[in-house]
Structure 1
Amino acid sequence: MKKKKFKIALAQIKIEQKNIEKNCKKIFERIEEAAKENVDIICFPELATIGYTITTDELQNLPEDFNNTFIEKLQEKAKLFKIHILVGYLESKTTKKSKDFYNSCIFIDDEGEILANARKVYLWKKEKTKFKAGDKFIVKDTKFGKIGILLCYDLEFSEPARIECLKGAEIIFVPSLWSLNAENRWHIDLAANSLFNLLFIAGCNTVGDSCCGKSKIVEPDGTTLIEASGTKEELLLATIDLAKLDEIRNKIPYLSDFKSDTFSIEALKKY
């Protein structure tokens, strides 16, 4: 049976550029901290394992198995602490023809099973030279309702959140590496996507390296439930009450008044 109330944590951390070992250690420590707070779901920022500055040449020189142990340990932690985990990470996929990389988010349930692996669809500027784009906007049915995942720049387009809304999403997690220069857009994009689709949005950002922090959880009417600082690492905790989602959707008729013929059915099928 779906839980109407559950506790989530956004792990706003400073990512050590290209230091996989140190970042993974920090991720595991935050998971244990969240477990002590009886958190049901914890989310980490985009590329939390390696950071943003890795070059194309450095990517190609990474060992084949650099992710295997990390994913396995995440699964162990999820099962041990009975916690759902979302982590933005660098995904590699090697074939006979190529070695490709994706800016991805792994979603693991409290039994240690991988529920989803979301790949960033909209790549920002030079990301296009390093990563392959994803081609799906993912929504998974869980004991905490239907959960969607977007990665950073995906949030800056109206269609991804709307597609996930039409797929039934009740809360969307957004692992991000959002810059200080674009902080105003961070607040606007989170609030607008939340309000227009009448759902919860949890944006998990990083601090340092010109990122703006301010991880936050936005309610279905676009108001801020809780917000982190702009400079400090912290574990942002909040209780999500899905009854509030129903209440707001009854008050604001955006979804019931939405004209579905204005939105491409082909887009829903494709993405």
Structure 2
Amino acid sequence: MTIFVAQHARRANPEATAAAVLDDLDSRVSDDASFVVLPENAFTTGDQVRALPQQLRERCLERLTALARTRGAYVLTGSWPEQRPDGELTQVARLLDPSGSVCAQMERPILPDGTTGTGDDFPVVQTPYGRVGVLLGPDFWLVEPPRIQCLAGAELLLVAGSLDGTQQAAQRAAVWGIATINTVAVAFAGSLSERCGGGSAVAMPEGFAAEAGTREGIIEAPWDAANIQHLREPDLRFQQTLWFGLWARRTELYSDLTAQVS
């Protein structure tokens, strides 16, 4: 079982960006793929966020659906801006199952400065490869969303995100930190532009299984849910692993904690 994560530079226009990304996926993603992950604003060009033309959206979704079907993989489409009936722009990300059907969808508001807002829905999907959480945009960098998904059983987080080009070292450390403190695998996809610093990676609690840095292309890493399950096993004497102490929680205390600070 293998995870593929795409990281590409933005071209002169959305059509050129989409062609470069989708052609690379078609040539690089093998039949061993279990998951394919694209970034936030996967086909956007420049730093000004605009809705993708409908024909381009449909063409991108069609090709990603074909990729899911032909590889038998789950594909996180990344996100792209879509215009709602009220005229507002929203980021939309979809998780496609191996049949090409949408098994999870996330929408987030686009803020006045062009960045993506946060939300309060954090889907977890049961797959033949384990339970998978899907995150979009800045939700990944907050404490609660990854924790909520892991408490719901997620063993792998698929993240359509982005890294600030000026803060890559700190955010790289945060990707690994989130994997460690939640005892979860993280497949993080980011894009390359003047504003976005790449940083795509597959992180395990023990360290990075693959990193793109600022290189364009597609990285891959093996995936074994049994390893995460092992690290989460109760081991109060810490003879086998140290991670259980980070994963273990008494969730019945949460209401008391929130009551104390309200």
Shorter-chain TM-score bucket reads 0.7 to 0.9
1:3 corresponding residue in structure 2: none
Provide the secondary structure at the position in 2 that maps to 1:150.
strand
Unaligned runs of 5+ in 2: 234-240
Contact 1:91 1:101 in 2 (8 A): yes
- Matching residue of 1:253: 244
CA distance in 2 between partners of 1:113 and 1:260 (Å): 34
Q: Which range moved further: 181-190 or 198-207? A: 181-190
1:152–1:178 contact (8 Å) kept in structure 2: no
Letter in 2 for 1:112: G
Letter of the structure 1 residue corresponding to residue 208 of structure 2: T
1:206 aligns with 2:191: yes
2-structure distance, mates of 1:75, 1:116 = 14
Residue equivalent to 1:127: 114
Structure 1 distance, partners of 2:168, 2:247, is 32
> Retained in 1: the 8 A contact 2:201–2:212?
yes
Q: Distance in 2 between matches of 1:34 and 1:237?
A: 10
Which residue matches 2:212? 228
Classify the secondary structure of the residue corresponding to 1:106.
strand
* 1:20 to 1:242, Cα distance in 2 relative to 1, 3 A: same
Please tell me whether the aligned partners of residues 194 and 218 of structure 1 are also in contact (alpha carbons under 8 angstroms): yes
What secondary structure does 1:99 align onto? coil
Per-residue CA deviation, residues 86-126 of structure 1 (Å, 9 max, x unaligned), is 1222242533xx123222321112211111112347x7782
- Residues 190 and 200 in structure 2, CA contact (< 8 A), matched pair in contact too: yes
Question: For residues 73 and 37 of structure 1, do their structure 2 counterparts lie closer, same or farther at Cα, with a shift above 3 Å needed?
Answer: closer
* Number of the residue aligned with 2:93: 105
8 Å contact from structure 2 (residues 82, 92) kept in 1: no
Identity of aligned residues (%): 21
Pair 1:80-2:75 in alignment: no
Q: CA deviation at 1:52?
A: 5.8
Q: Is 1:144 aligned with 2:132?
A: no
Whether the 8 Å contact between 1:100 and 1:132 is mirrored in structure 2 is no
Q: Name the counterpart of 1:177.
A: 162
Q: Which residue of 154, 158, 170 corresponds with 2:143?
A: 158
Equivalent residue, structure 2, for 1:40: 34
The one-character-per-residue Cα deviations of 1:121-142 (angstroms, maximum 9, x if unpaired) are 7x778236xx675431111111
**Aligned residue identity for 2:10:** I
Structure 1 stretch displaced more, 38-47 or 78-87: 78-87
| Separation (CA, whole Å) in 1 of partners of 2:80 and 2:232 | 36
State the Cα deviation string for residues 198-219 of structure 1 (Å, max 9, x = none).
Answer: 1101111222424322321111
* Aligned structure 1 segments of 4 or more residues deviating by more than 4 angstroms: 62-66
Name which of 181, 202, 217 aligns with 1:217. 202
Preserved CA contact (<8 Å) 2:78 2:93 = yes
What's the RMSD between the two structures over aligned residues? 2.7
- TM-score (norm: length of structure 1): 0.80
> C-alpha distance in 2, partners of 1:243/1:206?
30
Q: From the superposition, tell whether residues 176 and 63 of structure 1 become closer, same or farther in structure 2 (CA, over 3 Å).
A: closer
The reply to whether residue 29 of structure 1 matches residue 29 of structure 2 is: no
- Cα shift at 1:42: 1.2
Q: How big is the shift at 1:48?
A: 0.6
Mapped partners of 1:150, 1:124: distance in 2: 18
Task: Give the whole-Å Cα distance in 2 for the aligned partners of 1:84 and 1:105.
Answer: 13
- What are structure 1's unaligned runs of at least 5 residues? 1-5
